[in-house]
Amino acid sequence: MIPTLQRPPPSMRTSMPGGAAGRTLMGLLLILWFTLPMIPVALWAVAGRWHAPAVLPQTYSWEGWSSAASSGLFPALLASALLGAGVAILATPLGFMAAVSIRRLPRRYARPVEGILLAPLAIPPFALVMGMNVVLLRAHVPAAAGVLLLLVVTALPYTVFMFRSALAGYDDRFEEAARSLGASKAQSIRHVRLPLLTAATSRAAFLAFLVGWGDYIVTLIVGGGQLRTLPMTLASAASATGNEQLTAVLSLTVVLPPLALLTALLLTRRHGRIR
């Protein structure tokens, strides 16, 4: 997800106006901008007593975590993880197949097909869900399956896009070179195409996982309250007052696992895979 950065030339470095001091200040401001909202979350997660005028917590404790555990943190964690994994497992291969077939279609048909596949991005998720909810109820689809189905549809644009851009940068001549070096069709797929597309696959799966892991609106409307995922628990905590500790703890449990996953993805990439 982080684009590879080249060493910027000095002309670029001196392009930032404001001199060395200004540049440092701007860097600090940007880092502050991106981290600021998560600072109170981190503090509240370990705060015990933290009454109004105090800038920092007066006492620290794990209270928030124990109250989260007692209010169903672990089942919610499991439900979210399963939902995320389910979406990733379904949407990744579907996205790959869609991207490959778009690539093979003549341009005239490829355009509209791609448009349809990317359409869920253009439709507000709540509208999509409200419309589909009626259909799902009529068809007697169980709530959990309905949620999964809708989230796969929501995730598809991302996975298709990931594979589309990976395939756009992918040169078929790699495989042709492999064939001319004596690899069979299967071998060229196994030893050339798959390794070259690993990065795109992991990125697509990560995005699809995020769609399931962090979803609120689909679970809310289609799940009908039966599916207690982490965001559902968090939303009920955050919408009421006086739940700062619980909100913070739940926020961290939602945020940290994907970040760990992202770091792991980046670290494996650094070990010499082609992007």
Task: Please pick, from the candidates 40, 72, 93, 120, the single residue that binds another protein as defined by CB under 8 A.
Answer: 40
Tell me the one-letter amino acid at 148. Answer: L
Residue 184's Cβ-count burial label (10 Å; 0-12, 13-18, 19+) is exposed
Q: Is 16 or 274 the residue whose CB approaches another protein more closely?
A: 16
Q: Which of residues 56-95 bind another protein (CB under 8 A)?
A: none
If binding is defined by CB under 8 A, does position 17 make contact with another protein? yes
CA distance 268 to 148: 29
| Cβ 212 vs Cβ 84: under 8 Å | yes
SS3 call for 8: coil
DSSP 178: H
Q: Is 169 or 195 the residue whose CB approaches another protein more closely?
A: 169
SS3 call for 15: coil
If binding is defined by CB under 8 A, does position 41 make contact with another protein? yes
CA distance 264 to 275: 15
| Interface stretch with another protein, choices 89-97, 98-106, 168-176, 255-263 (CB under 8 A) | 255-263
If binding is defined by CB under 8 A, does position 208 make contact with another protein? no
Q: Is 192 or 222 the residue whose CB approaches another protein more closely?
A: 222
Phi, psi of 208 (to 5 degrees): -65, -40
If binding is defined by CB under 8 A, does position 35 make contact with another protein? yes
Task: Please pick, from the candidates 15, 104, 186, 272, the single residue that binds another protein as defined by CB under 8 A.
Answer: 15
Strand partners, 60: 47
| Interface stretch with another protein, choices 28-36, 66-74, 177-185, 197-205 (CB under 8 A) | 28-36
How many binding residues for another protein (CB under 8 A)?
71
Q: Which of residues 127-166 bind another protein (CB under 8 A)?
A: 127, 130-131
Q: Which two tokens stand for residue 20?
A: 């060395």
| Interface stretch with another protein, choices 115-123, 142-150, 170-178, 191-199 (CB under 8 A) | 115-123
Task: Please pick, from the candidates 123, 194, 264, 274, the single residue that binds another protein as defined by CB under 8 A.
Answer: 123
Beta carbon of residue 239, minimum distance to another protein (angstroms, whole number)? 6
Q: Which of residues 213-252 bind another protein (CB under 8 A)?
A: 213-217, 220-221, 231, 234-235, 237-239, 244, 247-248, 250-251
Beta carbon of residue 259, minimum distance to another protein (angstroms, whole number)? 6
The owner of tokens 């507000």 is 124
Q: Is 90 or 254 the residue whose CB approaches another protein more closely?
A: 254
Alpha helix (H) ranges present in the chain? Answer: 10-13, 19-35, 38-45, 63-70, 73-104, 107-122, 125-138, 143-168, 172-180, 185-188, 194-213, 217-221, 230-239, 244-270
